Amino acid sequence: MKKIVFLWTFILLLMSCGTSKKVPKKSNKTYTKSEKIVANALKYKGVKYRFGGITKKGMDCSGIVYVSFLEENIQLPRISRDMAKTGQKIPLKKAQKGDLLFFKTSKKGRGINHVGLIVSVKNNKIRFIHSTTSRGVIISQLSEKYWKNAFVKAMKIL
């Protein structure tokens, strides 16, 4: 009987040792302001489109850019047309993560009416996050015909 009690005690002791949780190791990586802004924007991926929106209930294209920068205490104008006057114009080949892309998507003479935030540049492929009326907050590639044809300029804010 003592052997059975000892055996069960030993088994329970072994099982309890295996249930301890591992504490995740803290990363020592420091993030650039651009990386933080992009991470802020990516939190809103999938949010539906809402004209003038700046919350998870709905966002427009300038709303996602505005909020992503504001979360890092950088105040930008609220609408894309005015954002396009902020920062420094850069050649597309020098565009990097965190830079802004501006578009004219309307054939009417309104000028710039859309903005996206670059999330990655790999092998000369530029991916950007933005909000569209039909699909909400999504990631697109600048090489897509529609966006390539509507592209106006790239701007560096930071």
Q: Look at residue 13 and tell me if it is in a domain.
A: no
Length of the chain: 158
Tally of domains in the chain: 1
Q: Look at residue 10 and tell me if it is in a domain.
A: no
Q: Residue 25 carries which side chain, given as an amino acid letter?
A: K
Catalytic residues, which ones?
61, 114, 130
Q: Look at residue 5 and tell me if it is in a domain.
A: no
Q: CA-based angle 33:37:42, to the nearest 5? A: 145
Q: Look at residue 128 and tell me if it is in a domain.
A: yes
Task: Report the C-alpha gap between 12 and 8 in whole angstroms.
Answer: 6
Secondary structure of the chain in HEC code, one letter for each residue: CHHHHHHHHHHHHHHHHCCCCCCCCCCCCCCCHHHHHHHHHHCCCCCCECCCCEECCEECHHHHHHHHHHCCCCCCCCCHHHHCCCCEEECHHHCCCCCEEEECCCCCCCCCCEEEEEEEEECCEEEEEEEECCCEEEEEECCCHHHHHHEEEEEECC
Q: Look at residue 20 and tell me if it is in a domain.
A: no
Q: Look at residue 22 and tell me if it is in a domain.
A: no
CATH code for position 54 = 3.90.1720.10
Site of tokens 């850069």: 90
Domain that holds residue 148: 31-156
Site of tokens 């009416």: 113
Each of the 158 residues of the chain gets a pLDDT tens digit; together they read: 555 555 545 454 445 554 455 656 666 788 999 999 999 999 999 999 999 999 999 999 999 999 999 999 999 999 999 999 999 999 999 999 999 999 999 888 779 999 999 999 999 899 999 999 999 999 999 999 999 999 999 999 99
Q: Look at residue 3 and tell me if it is in a domain.
A: no
Q: Look at residue 18 and tell me if it is in a domain.
A: no
